[in-house]
């Protein structure tokens, strides 16, 4: 069964600093991986997804994530944080069996300091 772990329930960075949100997954075969973002009082929105094409995936708003099979990781990065990036970020994994059940991590709240 798949599972996903997000390290750090809160991450605080200064505006202009690198953003690094960590996600590790557990799966017997390379899964599909996703990052979603939730802005205050809104539903979730897809940032990017990995489905076995390029290991470096570029998403919206300048975010990208790299799939590292050897480390079972799919960390989310952005070179320079903006105040508008303050939100909660969720990593999710699904298997490639017939159910494609999507499992979300516990979320990381990103705080951006001016």
Partner 1 sequence: KAGVTQTPRYLIKTRGQQVTLSCSPISGHRSVSWYQQTPGQGLQFLFEYFSETQRNKGNFPGRFSGRQFSNSRSEMNVSTLELGDSALYLCASSLALAGRGEQFFGPGTRLTVL
C-alpha closest to that of 93 among 80, 106, 104: 104
39 near partner 1, judged by CB under 8 A: no
103 near partner 1, judged by CB under 8 A: yes
95 near partner 1, judged by CB under 8 A: yes
* Exposure string over 74-101, b if 16+ CB within 10 A, otherwise e: bbbebeebeeebbbbbbbbbbbeeeeee
7 near partner 1, judged by CB under 8 A: no
10-14 vs 108-113, strand pairing mode: parallel
With respect to partner 1, which residue has the nearer C-beta, 82 or 101? 101
- Member of 17, 49, 77, 86 binding partner 1 (CB under 8 A): 49
> What whole-number distance in Å separates Cα of residue 104 and Cα of residue 54?
22
Enumerate residues 55-84 that contact partner 1 by CB under 8 A.
none
54 near partner 1, judged by CB under 8 A: no
Residue ranges binding partner 1 (CB under 8 A): 32, 36, 41-46, 49, 51, 90, 94-95, 99-104, 106-107
């Amino acid at each position: 069964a798949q599972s996903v772990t997000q390290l750090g329930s809160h991450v605080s960075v200064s505006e202009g600093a690198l953003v690094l949100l960590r996600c590790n997954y557990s799966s017997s075969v390379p899964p599909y991986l996703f990052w979603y973002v939730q802005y205050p009082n809104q539903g979730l929105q897809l940032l990017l997804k990995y489905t076995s094409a390029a290991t470096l995936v570029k998403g919206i708003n300048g975010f990208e994530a790299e799939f590292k099979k050897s480390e079972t990781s799919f960390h989310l990065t952005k070179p320079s944080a903006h105040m508008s990036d303050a939100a909660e970020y969720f990593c999710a994994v699904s298997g490639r069996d017939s159910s494609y059940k999507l499992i979300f991590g516990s979320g990381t709240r990103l705080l951006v300091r001016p």
